[in-house]
Every structure is written in structure tokens, then in C-alpha cells.
Amino acid sequence: MWPDGPQSTASSPRCVKGASCSHYIGPVATAEQTPLECHEVTKVFGVNLATARALLANGCDRQQVLDETGCLVAVQGATFSVQRGETFVVMGLSGSGKSTLIRCLSRLIEPTSGTVKIDGAPISELDDQELRELRRKRLSMVFQHFGLFPHRKVIDNVAFGLEIQGASKADRYERALEVLSVVGLGGWADHFPQQLSGGMQQRVGLARALCVEPEILFFDEPFSALDPLIRRDMQDELLSLQARMQRTLVFITHDFHEALKLGDRIAIMKDGEFVQVGTPEQIVSAPADDYVREFTEDAPKTKVITVGSVMRPLDGAAPSGEPVGVDAVLEDVLARLLADPAALGVVDDRGDVVGVVDRERVADLLGESSRAGAARADRAAEQP
């Protein structure tokens, strides 16, 4: 069962009916192919599209296009790729274009221009049947509002994807029960969705998405409706599943802390465009503009900034005690630095000492962030 490890590889996509089945099961990938690539994806809503496109091509901005044509540029020029095993988070305020973008990735919304490739194949070239098969077998989506069928038991909700693929009842129930136990709902198969809490229903949504063994999973604010504690549990659950299953994930959120926790890379979106794409550490330590900086001011810096990025050269220093790895985050060394003023040695992947980290450097960094927080509080207090 794949939640314990990536068994269904991209080069062997399989139909639940077995090896003899001739169903289309998506483009056959090789190990080198990037699971998901987007190039200059743009979506414009409105009727006067030809003029809107011409204006965009001439360098007009979103507001000019809106003023002159009445068309809304929801997504503009989104270019990125996601590797197998990577969680790519798209984060931005309400209306920034996140849902439109993620819907373009599976052609639930047709992009106005640009290319989306799955395992190297442009999805714009798929006919209706192929697109349906792709969505059924290679992609899964999890939405904020769980979208469960109220009249179906939990197990039939989870097994739905396999049912429409034509799997036998025995096969799909066996798989659904396995996935239910992976998301911690082993005993709930025969209940109906309304008998479950919101958090449990979202687990059912997650189990349903996982049941078809998708290569690529799209999440559109799946945890936004959940209480903070349940939300944290679900985030932890997703992290642990992804560590085991190594799928290709695109996760939408408007919560920067969630983005930092889940994302290997984060794209920050504003008014339909990516304003910055980077690792959590890159974004927190070097925000591209004020819009991004606003999000980072409250960020738990010690959880994302690595020792490697704040260490200083050895310069004859004699570090004490057990060294720390360059990839350790500051949170991992804080207690030791507070307990002992001596600098700690920092070692690279090969175990060679490449620098030292000390209390002063970390205190400077944390001081900068608390000064920024205080300045922001002052600004807020000055507002009428």
C-alpha cells in the first residue's frame, strides 16, 4: 500500500483493474521527467479576451486591462515546476489568484495562455476522455469544503475514485480501509459524513484523495475551516504522509505559518502574479518586497533559519562541545547557546567544521525581528 512508501512509480502507472487493463492511465513518465511544470500560465476572466491579451502582451498592467476591457486578470505569467517528493505552497491574500491557478493545473479552468505539463506532456493536448482519465488516476484534489457525499457512508466516499475506475467492491473496500487507517479513521468506515466532526470529515476528504494513489495532489486551503488544534494535527499528518509517500504536492493557503511549516518552496502571490518564490528560509531572511515582508514579520524565524546561514568563519575560534550541522535550524541550538556562552562548531555534510555559531549572532537576528515587530505594533497603534 503506497502510503507506506512510493510503490506506484511514475514509470509504472497502474490501473486498479490490473496489468491486463488497457485503460488510459496517463502519460508514462521516466524517472527524469518533472511531474508538474507550468510556463507563463495566465487566466483572464471576461468577454473581451482578445483585446485583454493584446494589452497584456503590450505590457499593460492588470488595472489597465480591467479599465479598458472590463476583463479581470486573475493569474498572470505563473511559471514554476514541482519535483517528485516536493511540497510547493502557493500563499497569498484573498483574491490573489490562488484557486484560479490551481484549477488551471488540471484544466478545471482553461488557462487563457501558457502551458501546463504533467510528466512532460502538455495537458492542453489531451482530449476530454484523456483529461478525465488523468484527473481520475494521476491527480487528486482536496478542497476547503470537503465535498463529501452526505448520503454515502465514509467508506463509499473514500472508495469513490476507485468505483468510477471500475474496481470491484472487494478491491476498493480493501484499499479504502487501508487509507482510512492511515488517516486515523479506521473505525469510522460505516458512518455517514454528518456523524463526523469537521476535522474528521477533512480526513475523509484526504483519504478519498489518497485512495486512487495519485502522483500529484492539489490542495486548495484544505485546513482553513478547521479549529487551530485540529488544523495543526492535520498539518502534521500531511507532513508525515508526504515524508513516506513522496508525492508531488501543490498546497494553497493564505496562512503564512502554514506555508512555512508545509512548504519545501513557497510562491507568494499578489494580484495574480508570483512576487517571490523560494524556500521558507529564503523568504523569511530576504523578503522580496514590503508585501512579503509584512508576512514575515511574525514568522517563527528560529524554526526556519538555518545555522549555516548565520554562522561566522572559524577564524581561530575553538568551538566547544558537540558540533551542529549546517542544516540545523536555530531552534535546535538555542537551548545550548543560552546554557553556555561558548560558540558551537558547525559541520557540513561530510562532518568537516566549516564555521561557528554564537549567542551574539543569534541574538542580533532575533533582536532585528523583535524590533521589526515593535515598529509594526507602533504603526498599528498610531492608526486611528
Ligand X SMILES: Nc1ncnc2c1ncn2[C@@H]1O[C@H](COP(=O)(O)OP(=O)(O)OP(=O)(O)O)[C@@H](O)[C@H]1O
95 touches, from ligand X, Mg ion, none (C-beta below 5 to 8 Å by class): ligand X
100 binds Mg ion (CB under 5 A): no
For strands 139-143 and 216-220, give the pairing. parallel
Q: Nearer to ligand X by C-beta: 100 or 165?
A: 100
Q: Nearer to ligand X by C-beta: 225 or 365?
A: 225
Q: With beta carbons less than 8 A apart as the criterion, state whether 294 and 268 touch.
A: no
CB of 218: closest distance to ligand X in angstroms? 12
254 touches, from ligand X, Mg ion, none (C-beta below 5 to 8 Å by class): ligand X
72 touches, from ligand X, Mg ion, none (C-beta below 5 to 8 Å by class): ligand X
For strands 248-253 and 216-220, give the pairing. parallel
Q: Nearer to Mg ion by C-beta: 94 or 383?
A: 94
DSSP 242-300: HHHH--EEEEEES-HHHHHHH-SEEEEEETTEEEEEE-HHHHHHS-SSHHHHHHHTTS-
242 touches, from Mg ion, ligand X, none (C-beta below 5 to 8 Å by class): none
253 touches, from ligand X, Mg ion, none (C-beta below 5 to 8 Å by class): none
The 3-state DSSP class for residue 302 equals helix
Q: Nearer to ligand X by C-beta: 99 or 276?
A: 99
Q: Nearer to ligand X by C-beta: 190 or 294?
A: 294
For strands 121-122 and 248-253, give the pairing. unpaired
Residues between 5 and 34 that touch Mg ion (CB under 5 A) = none
Cα–Cα distance, 175 to 155 (Å, whole number): 10
CB of 272: closest distance to ligand X in angstroms? 7
Q: With beta carbons less than 8 A apart as the criterion, state whether 98 and 269 touch.
A: yes
CB of 189: closest distance to Mg ion in angstroms? 31
Cα–Cα distance, 307 to 299 (Å, whole number): 17
Q: And the C-alpha cell for 107?
A: 484544466
Contact with Mg ion (CB under 5 A) among 76, 99, 140, 235: 99
Cα–Cα distance, 47 to 325 (Å, whole number): 56
CB of 61: closest distance to Mg ion in angstroms? 22
Q: Nearer to Mg ion by C-beta: 99 or 112?
A: 99
CB of 100: closest distance to ligand X in angstroms? 3
Cα–Cα distance, 252 to 88 (Å, whole number): 9
- Residue listed under C-alpha cell 484523495: 209
CB of 377: closest distance to ligand X in angstroms? 26
The helix (run of H) or strand (run of E) holding residue 197 is none
Q: Nearer to ligand X by C-beta: 92 or 308?
A: 92
Q: Nearer to ligand X by C-beta: 53 or 98?
A: 98
Q: N- to C-terminal Cα distance for the chain?
A: 58
253 binds Mg ion (CB under 5 A): no
Q: Could you list the residues that contact ligand X (CB under 6 A)?
A: 45, 72, 74, 92, 94-100, 254
CB atoms near residue 194 (< 10 Å)? 9
328 touches, from ligand X, Mg ion, none (C-beta below 5 to 8 Å by class): none
Binding site for Mg ion (CB under 5 A): 99
